[in-house]
């Protein structure tokens, strides 16, 4: 089955700096890669996703890149703000119905 690894597990950045979270996957059939943000005591919320026919996608301060050959994808947050502090999960799916999650990254943005 699919194995998704995520790094780093914790990340602290100064407000205004950029944050990068990286994930790798093992199943070459995976073709959909969403990213979720989970705030304390809440469920994960989809923030951005990318499909395997696209190399990069951007939505305001958030961007995701995908390297199919290397089987890795990354989340980039620019101009970080304190409200970006949360746990971020990457996921991979080949069917669009079954999702495999990374282990999460706890991001802290220091004011």
Partner 1 sequence: GAVVSQHPSWVICKSGTSVKIECRSLDFQATTMFWYRQFPKQSLMLMATSNEGSKATYEQGVEKDKFLINHASLTLSTLTVTSAHPEDSSFYICSASQGVEKLFFGSGTQLSVL
Token pair for 3: 């194995």
Give yes or no for a contact between 41 and 27, defined as CB atoms under 8 angstroms apart.
no
Window of 20-28, 61-69, 73-81, 87-95 that interacts with partner 1 by CB under 8 A: 87-95
Token pair for 81: 């703000």
Answer yes or no whether residue 43 interacts with partner 1 by CB under 8 A. yes
Positive/negative CA dihedral, 101, 8, 57, 28: negative
Count, residues near partner 1 per rule CB under 8 A: 23
Answer yes or no whether residue 25 interacts with partner 1 by CB under 8 A. no
Answer yes or no whether residue 102 interacts with partner 1 by CB under 8 A. yes
The rounded radius of gyration (Å) of the Cα atoms in the chain is 13
State the residues that interact with partner 1 by CB under 8 A: 32, 34, 36, 41-46, 49, 51, 89, 93, 95-99, 101-104, 106
């Amino acid at each position: 089955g699919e194995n998704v690894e995520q790094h780093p597990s914790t990340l602290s950045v100064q407000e205004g700096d950029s944050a990068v979270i990286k994930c790798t996957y093992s199943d070459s059939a995976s073709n959909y890669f969403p990213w979720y943000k989970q705030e304390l005591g809440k469920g994960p919320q989809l923030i951005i996703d990318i499909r395997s026919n696209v190399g990069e996608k951007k939505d305001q301060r958030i961007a995701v890149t995908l390297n199919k050959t290397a089987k890795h994808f990354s989340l980039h947050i620019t101009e970080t703000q304190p409200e970006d502090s949360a746990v971020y999960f990457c996921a991979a799916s080949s069917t669009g119905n079954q999702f495999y999650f990374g282990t999460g990254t706890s991001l802290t943005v220091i004011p």
